[in-house]
Amino acid sequence: MSDNEKEYFVPEQLDDNDFEKEKMEEKVAKKEKKNKWNKQNVKGFSIKIISIILIIVFILLGIYLYLNPIQKKATAPEQAAKEFCAYFNAGNWKKINQLMDFKGYYILGGVLEEADYPKFDLAYKALDEKDETYLKFQDTMDILTSIDEKDLNSVSIQIRLKNIEACNKIQGTETLYKLRVNFDYIYEGQSENTTGILYISNASGEYKMVFGEWMQTILNYYQSVYLIQSSYGQ
């Protein structure tokens, strides 16, 4: 077979319309591919920006919470302790007296030993309020709490509550709580840091101070003022 007789493959020739169409489809495909790539890059960039913003927000939030810690809502016994402290510092002795349960004080201070505090509820209900010893105690409390506020406010004493370290219900009771508090006594410009125990109960129907550091301080102060008044014949 001669060279002239050899068969050669001749690619199919597209007409002008088909050729232009193919070029257009190829162009569109390239554009879509480019747009897809751009969208992916933009999306990736946006995610990075959002991540950075969130990190900054969390850092700033952490700093804010560190500088301004969220205080948990006070329980009823804790709130009673805070109010007691606030009234004392304001020299509102009427409110102070209303926040002290002297029947509870009598039971914890004169009837029960500390080991028997789980029996507080029963002892509170069972107390004979006509008992002679209890009646004498009541008379004493009436005298101390009747001191004129002007005389009580003649000396500047304050309690600065720093924090309540613990507040727990006494096991075996439904109404008695033991609080451990950290505070400062402030007297004539001098400050003394102290950690003390408070006992608060709602056996009377309201949360009141029944025993412990602050109540003893108040009653000692009442007694001191009363003795001074008695000495000077007031």
**Residue 207 falls in which region: left (phi positive, over 0), alpha (psi -120 to 50) or beta:** beta
| Mean pLDDT score, 125-147 | 95
Q: What is the mean pLDDT of the chain?
A: 83
pLDDT interval class at 97 (50, 70, 90):
very high
193 vs 21, higher pLDDT: 193
> Looking at domain 76-231, what is its CATH homologous superfamily?
NTF2-like; domain 1 (3.10.450.100)
Q: d(Cα 26, Cα 18) in Å, to the nearest integer?
A: 12
Judged against a pLDDT cut of 80, whether residue 147 lies above it is answered with yes
pLDDT interval class at 15 (50, 70, 90):
low
Q: Label residues 56-70 b or e (16+ Cβ within 10 Å = b).
A: eeeeeeeeeeeeeee
Name which of 206, 181, 174, 199 is nearest 114 in CA terms: 199
Residue with tokens 């080991």: 115
Name which of 158, 107, 141, 109 is nearest 222 in CA terms: 141
| Mean pLDDT score, 37-48 | 62
pLDDT of residue 232: 73
pLDDT of residue 12: 56
pLDDT in tens, 169-195: 999 999 999 999 999 999 878 889 999
pLDDT of residue 229: 82
- For every residue of 143-212, DSSP letters joined together read HHTTS-HHHHTTS-EEEEEEEEEEEEEPTT-SSEEEEEEEEEEEETTEEEEEEEEEEEE-TTSS-EEEEE
| Mean pLDDT score, 192-211 | 96
Quote the percentage of the chain above a pLDDT of 70: 74
pLDDT of residue 110: 92
CB 94 within 8 A of CB 145: no
Range with top average pLDDT, 16-30, 124-138, 150-164: 124-138
For residue 121, give both structure tokens. 């509820």
How many residues belong to the chain?
A: 234
| Mean pLDDT score, 123-130 | 96
pLDDT of residue 48: 72
42 vs 30, higher pLDDT: 30
